[in-house]
A and B are shown apart, each in its own frame.
Chain A
Amino acid sequence: MAGAWLACSRWRVLAWAYAVNLLLAVVAGIPAALSVSEILDHSFEARRLVKGFDLGAFVALLMHPEVSLGGPAAGSLLVSLVYLAFMLFLTGGMLHDFRQEQRLSIGEFCAACGAFFWRFARLFLFLLIVLVPLGILYGLLADGAGKLAANSPQEKLGFWLALGCTALALLLFVAIRLWFDVAQVRAVAEDERKIRCALRRSFRQTFPNFLPLLWFFLVTGVVACLGSAAAVWLWVKYIRPEDLAFSILLGQVIVLLWIATRLWLRACETLWYQRRFPPPVVFAEPPSAPPVTLEMPSAEVSPPSGPPEGS
């Protein structure tokens, strides 16, 4: 809950992430819209896509010689990569902001984003390297599962095996993702510049504490999934096919939910790290006293009765 509260208090980060997400998608959608508008806007056949959704008409549209979606698809992929880069940039400022008692100003926020961007970029490259064996493992598991399923009289076995392989791969991905999340949090908390060191240390920090971190992931993930499922259910049950405004609204709720829960997870990780690995307490040094000068007493002078000053 503390993580949720923290993420909510930094709502500007969510707003920026969502706004850039939406803007990039709008830009990516323009070529696709232009590609089909020439054909649809003055044709009665287009009604089959508005009232309900006639899959036959849609596929016929895709097969139309004047419709080419290869370019728009590449555009969507490109903007997704741009968004990825943006989120890499945003994450440094966001994690730094989460650590502060008060919200950072825009200037401080951007400065933090810039300060940590290249470190996070290097972490991203390491992540890709680590994911390659995971991908290979998944491929091998899926292949083996497929063979087992094909040779089994139980038809559902194939489904369960596929589900199991996917769940295992997902769990491994989550574990790796949490490791790198902690590496990012650590890089910000300790101002760590050596990324390989950060990774090694965060590995040692993450896996002994895997369960609480996994718990954060599960809670935020379940909220995202349940919220999306509810939105889809509403859409199927109550929204008429021609009600574009409601469809857009529900779609944006789903998008926002996924961004928000990711930020919520990052906030939880930051708070956890602060509590689990607090910065060392530094005791203040006593003020330094001037050297004591003892006057040598005369023979008749009796020695002092108490301890000498300065002890």
Chain B
Amino acid sequence: MPAPRPPQATNASPDAPLSRRVVAYEIDARLDAQRKTIDAVQILTYRNLTGKALSEFPFHLYLNAFQPESTFFRESRREGGPRKWEEKHRGSIEVKSFEAVGQGDLTSKIEFIQPDDGNPQDRTVFRVRLPRPVPPGASVQFRIVFHAKLPETVARTGYKRDFFFVAQWFPKVGVWWRGEWNCHQFYPTTEFFADFGTYDVKLTLPQNLVVGTTGDELASVANPDGTKTISFRAEDVHDFAWTAYANYRIVEDSWKGSAATVKIRLFMQPEHMNQANRYMRSLKGTLEHFDRWYGPYPYNRITVVDPAHGSGSGGMEYPTLITAGTTWWMPAGFLAPELVVEHEFGHQYWYGIVATNEFEDAWLDEGINSYTETKIMDSLFGAERSALHLWGLTLADSSLQRLTYLANPASDPMVRSAYQFMSGDAYGGVTYGKTATALRTLEGLIGEETLRRALRTYFLRYRFSHPTEEDFLKTIEEVSGQNLRWFFDQAVYGTHVLDYAVQSIHSSRVDWFEKKPPKEKKGETLYRTHVLVRRLGDFVCPVEVEIKFDNGETLREQWDGKDRWVRYTYEKKAKIVSATVDPGRKVWLDRDFFNNSKTDKANAAATRKLANIWRFLTQMLENLLAWLA
């Protein structure tokens, strides 16, 4: 039965929920900052909106991934991960008791399952079968007592020295999706998937810690034992993360959006305070662009956490809370802090509000977000320098994304589940780089404004729900009014590589056979010109070919790209100067821009420049070694 459409998100009535609140978490947790443990009681109220009676419930226990024999570590080591196990990296979460209210203690019914790889040592998923199923439309309440041991951060969550970033720290119920439970094990390349709901969280922790969370702070009470208990509430989100560190410096500001005034809080490391304005500028620019291009930001807050050095928590997104990252020496021309803020905020839309399945459709959040990242970074910082402009070097963010794609252009399709890619590099290259580059190419095909409208429609239609890849692709076709299956079949579902090349250009006199031909004269001698263009890859895409002659004439040919090559022949009183495939640089998926053009005359300026650099570096190496003489 298709899921009902979500309610229209609006802030006109603050009490109206923005999402189908499937879950309501109430968590009362105490942090032991010395032992790095959390003890908590969790009440989870689950509304059965599946239309079916549910008798079993799976839960994620993500922290159990940080054990040597878990699937997470097995796969990390396969990718060249840690050679040595260190006990400080062990994390765990233990369910002390599990009760279904009204159905009794089900602790002994906890059964660890491994639905993906069958690794019996992996305990990141458990399920519980209820004595009585929960009828459709009814709710069930679980009371779970758990004890969590935080690892010294390996990936995103844990502690580093006295800095805490705590995410995926509580038993999280799976998602009923596409007619069944969706609850995957945790892998190095996977992120998360959960239902929308509410979170009421109480944290008891040492008084000296400054705390930032997903939710709004409701109250703070000092306890006689030197701790404090802070209450938070977050609505219409699907996760709850928090951070605690005594040395945070907080910078506050606000931004007025079309739906709400957004309260901004930066939690800065003291030694990075001089970079707070970089974070703020990027965040406000991003908020403005997303609001204008894709839709209103529906929440009243956004928190940016600048994590402690070496913490491994940077560059990640959680609902209304993101982690950024910088260093004390970050030059202004190296736009890493701006880029990470833009990217992680972008996830508020693509993942936070349009909550796609990050296990199975990682490209729908990482890839779309990487594409919108390139657009916004270009808009904010300039198209050719949106990632770097330092000491004469420039780098566009779109080029950066394309380079990650070029490193792994053909290993996996975009639609592959995150945990099934050939390698971590392939996952990154395809999910981020290839998707961004493919969308950039699509932009070239259907128009920038059309694609922007399509993304806006997709956001507004699917916010606070869990769309699939077909929902996204169909939206693009609907808005563009074009059948784009040929493109999607190759770029999204396939591993086709796109590469067009101008193989050769040549002009020769028509009267070459004459014994005494007249002297060559520009504008008078008749030439026959051949241009050979080839499709070197297996991706078929219509392209433009531009041919220029030395009399100033420019011709544009349209090639459907279906055959492996095409030859253009002309007879003119002019010689060819150059031929270029895709002169407008719309087909970003082309794996080699260097062979897209060919000029009649050589211009060795670039070769000379690189040769000079090489020569200089060799000379300095000689000088260095000569110090041993």
Contact = CB atoms under 8 A, between A and B. Distances in A.
Contact of B598 (A43, A50, A55, A127): A43
B13 interface: no
A255 B593 contact: no
B595 interface: yes
Given A57-B593, A177-B627, A79 B395 contact: no
A75 B602 CA distance: 27
B603 A79 contact: no
B388 A21 contact: no
A77 B599 CA distance: 35
Interface stretch (B227-235, B276-284, B614-622): B614-622
A47 B594 CA distance: 10
Nearest to B406: A63
Given A45-B594, A52-B392, A60-B403, A32 B625 contact: no
Nearest to B578: A44
Contacts of A72: 614
A244 B610 CA distance: 10
Contact of A251 (B327, B593, B612): B612
B475 interface: no
A214 B394 CA distance: 41
A130 B392 CA distance: 41
Interface string A17-55: 000011011101100110011011111111101101111
A22 B599 CA distance: 32
B558 to A, nearest CB: 20
Which are the 9 A-B pairs with shortest beta-carbon distances?
A: A56-B399, A46-B606, A87-B629, A83-B622, A155-B309, A25-B618, A33-B611, A44-B597, A41-B602
B329 interface: yes
B628 A84 contact: yes
Given A46-B594, A124-B629, A153-B161, A56 B402 contact: yes
A151 interface: yes
Interface core residue of B247, B597, B623 (most chain A CB under 10 Å): B623
Interface string A118-143: 00100010011000000000000000
Contacts of A43: 594-599
B9 interface: no
Interface string A149-172: 011111110110000000000000
Nearest to A18: B619
B618 A64 contact: no
A29 B625 contact: no
A187 interface: no
A88 interface: yes
A259 B403 contact: no
Interface in A7-23: 21-22
Interface residues of A, number: 70
27 contacts: A21-B622, A29-B611, A29-B614, A29-B618, A32-B610, A41-B602, A41-B604, A43-B595, A43-B596, A44-B580, A52-B384, A54-B394, A54-B396, A56-B399, A60-B403, A64-B592, A76-B617, A81-B625, A83-B626, A151-B161, A153-B161, A153-B247, A153-B308, A158-B309, A242-B605, A251-B616, A262-B627
A248 B612 contact: yes
Contacts of A33: 607-608, 610-611, 614
Contacts, number: 193
A205 interface: no
A292 to B, nearest CB: 62
A54 B269 CA distance: 33
A55 B597 CA distance: 20
A49 B610 contact: yes
B478 to A, nearest CB: 34
A254 B578 CA distance: 39
Contact of B605 (A21, A22, A46, A150): A46
Given A41-B603, A155-B271, A159-B329, 16 more contacts: A44-B578, A44-B596, A44-B599, A45-B593, A46-B607, A50-B609, A55-B394, A56-B399, A60-B402, A60-B593, A63-B406, A80-B625, A127-B628, A153-B308, A241-B392, A247-B609
B1 to A, nearest CB: 48
A230 interface: no
Interface of A: 21-22, 24-26, 28-29, 32-33, 36-37, 39-47, 49-50, 52-57, 59-61, 63-64, 72, 76-77, 79-81, 83-84, 87-88, 91, 120, 124, 127-128, 150-156, 158-159, 177, 236, 241-242, 244, 247-248, 251, 254-255, 258-259, 262
A63 B407 CA distance: 8
B249 to A, nearest CB: 14
A42 B609 contact: no
Contacts of A79: 618, 622
A91 B629 contact: yes
Nearest to A127: B628
Contacts of B328: 155-156, 159
B609 A61 contact: no
A40 B607 contact: yes
Contact of A155 (B269, B604, B617): B269
Contacts of A52: 384, 392, 394
B593 A83 contact: no
B621 A80 contact: yes
Interface core residue of A47, A120, A128 (most chain B CB under 10 Å): A47
A267 to B, nearest CB: 16
A255 B578 contact: no
Contacts of B402: 56, 60
Contacts of A259: 623, 626
Given A21-B619, A40-B594, A150-B310, A49 B606 contact: yes
Nearest to A65: B592
B555 interface: no
Given A22-B619, A159-B329, A54 B625 contact: no
Contacts of B593: 45, 57, 60
B369 to A, nearest CB: 20
A80 to B, nearest CB: 5
Contacts of A242: 605
A37 B598 CA distance: 13
A249 B120 CA distance: 66
Interface core residue of B598, B599, B612 (most chain A CB under 10 Å): B612
Contact of A36 (B309, B395, B595, B607): B607
